């Protein structure tokens, strides 16, 4: 106990208390869809992490400090980092975690952030898909963003490393080395995917004042065994989460259309709904006005129209706060 800081044990006990509180509250509510599991012992070598606090602001000496590309951790001292802390302010806490035999520091900084005033009125509709990750429609037209699909690209190497790991003797040193190589490949897949999602989400919230997206059900799509791997490789839920918090930080309004909004089946020219549109049909022609449509571009245009009507239709409130409502029809 003397070899580690006091915060490591304190936060472990607090996390255990929160886990038991969630477990007992969910056990009293059997109607909940996904109740919390009973807390179990944390296995060594799996999600290794600990947290350190900096104490109150009135303390003269602080245990956590950051100077350039290094950080001071209690009981450990100064540790080099690959990059400096990007925010100015008082450090509240830091969480040290290990992933793929590499250590990461997640620093919580107390700082001030002012939501910028947006004078532009650009509106965009964003449709997500498997073949093309995102199709964005604005006043200038439609443009598409392809997903890197790191899992599909590195799947042969991933299978090879899995086979090599299973052939090693359990609890041997070679087995540990093979697990580290496998973990690094998984980390690379995750990092490539997150980097692409962050770049696209940041570009959207900075370029547009209002963004309309649809309320997808990734869990339901994952139940289809034909597209489950491709859907998991795209991370629709993570992209929506990034859009939600980045929109609030940049003063962008995020309008979420209803899950049953027929964005792909609705003709953006005349409003005709093609109810017999197949799941894999990319090109279709409207039976009412004979307009040819691309499935993704048509859906993005409809989402843009729905977002603009939800914001400006007759002075109505539309979808309410960013990311919390659904697209409403014109008032």
* 171 is an active site residue: no
Q: At CB < 8 A and 24+ separation, what contacts does 44-51 make?
A: 47/97, 48/97, 48/98, 49/95, 49/96, 49/97, 49/98, 50/4, 50/5, 50/7, 50/8, 50/11, 50/12, 50/95, 50/96, 51/7, 51/8, 51/11, 51/93, 51/94, 51/95, 51/96
Secondary structure (3-state) at 73: strand
- H/E stretch holding 263 reads none
Catalytic residue chosen out of the listed positions 53, 214, 233, 297: 214
- Name residue 143's beta-bridge partners: 136
Secondary structure (3-state) at 82: coil
Catalytic residue chosen out of the listed positions 127, 138, 233, 297: 127
- Name residue 80's beta-bridge partners: 70
Query: How many Å apart are CA 47 and CA 52, to the nearest integer?
Result: 16
Catalytic residue chosen out of the listed positions 53, 138, 233, 296: 296
Query: Among residues 114, 132, 305, 296, which one has the least CA distance to residue 210?
Result: 305
Q: Around Cβ 188, how many Cβ atoms within 10 Å?
A: 14
* 127 is an active site residue: yes
Q: Would you state the structure tokens that stand for residue 267, as one six-digit string? A: 């003709």
Q: Is there a contact between 264 and 297 (Cβ–Cβ < 8 Å)?
A: no
Q: Is there a contact between 213 and 240 (Cβ–Cβ < 8 Å)?
A: yes
Within 208-314, residue ranges assigned H as helices are 218-222, 228-234, 236-250, 295-312
* 296 is an active site residue: yes
Which residues carry out catalysis?
127, 214, 296
């Amino acid at each position: 106990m003397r070899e580690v800081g006091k915060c490591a044990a304190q936060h472990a006990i607090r996390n255990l208390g929160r886990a038991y509180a969630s477990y007992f509250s969910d056990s009293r509510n059997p109607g909940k869809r996904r109740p919390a599991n009973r807390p179990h012992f944390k296995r060594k070598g799996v999600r290794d992490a600990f947290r350190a606090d900096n104490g109150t602001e009135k303390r003269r000496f602080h245990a956590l400090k950051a100077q350039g590309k290094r950080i001071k951790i209690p009981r450990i001292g100064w540790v080099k980092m690959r990059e400096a802390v990007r925010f100015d302010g008082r450090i509240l806490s830091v969480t040290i975690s290990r992933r793929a035999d590499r250590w990461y520091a997640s620093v919580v900084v107390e700082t001030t952030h002012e939501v910028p005033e947006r004078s532009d009125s650009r509106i965009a509709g964003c449709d997500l898909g498997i073949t093309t990750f995102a199709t964005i429609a604005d006043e200038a037209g439609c443009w598409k963003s392809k997903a890197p699909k790191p899992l599909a690209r590195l799947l042969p190497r991933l299978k090879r490393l899995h086979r090599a790991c299973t052939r090693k003797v359990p609890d041997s040193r070679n087995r540990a080395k093979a697990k580290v190589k496998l973990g690094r490949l998984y980390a690379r897949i995750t990092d490539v995917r997150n980097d692409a999602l962050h770049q696209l989400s940041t570009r959207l919230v900075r370029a547009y004042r209002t963004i309309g997206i649809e309320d997808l059900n990734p869990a339901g799509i994952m139940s289809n065994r034909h597209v489950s791997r491709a859907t998991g490789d795209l991370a629709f839920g993570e992209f929506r989460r990034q859009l939600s918090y980045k929109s609030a930080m940049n003063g962008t309004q995020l309008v979420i259309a209803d899950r049953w909004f027929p964005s792909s089946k609705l003709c953006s020219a005349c409003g005709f709904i093609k109810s017999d549109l197949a799941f894999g049909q990319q090109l279709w022609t409207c039976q009412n006005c004979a307009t040819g449509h691309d499935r993704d571009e048509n859906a993005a245009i409809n989402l843009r129209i729905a977002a603009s009507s939800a914001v400006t239709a007759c002075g109505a409130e539309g979808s309410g706060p960013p990311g919390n409502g659904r697209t409403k029809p014109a008032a």
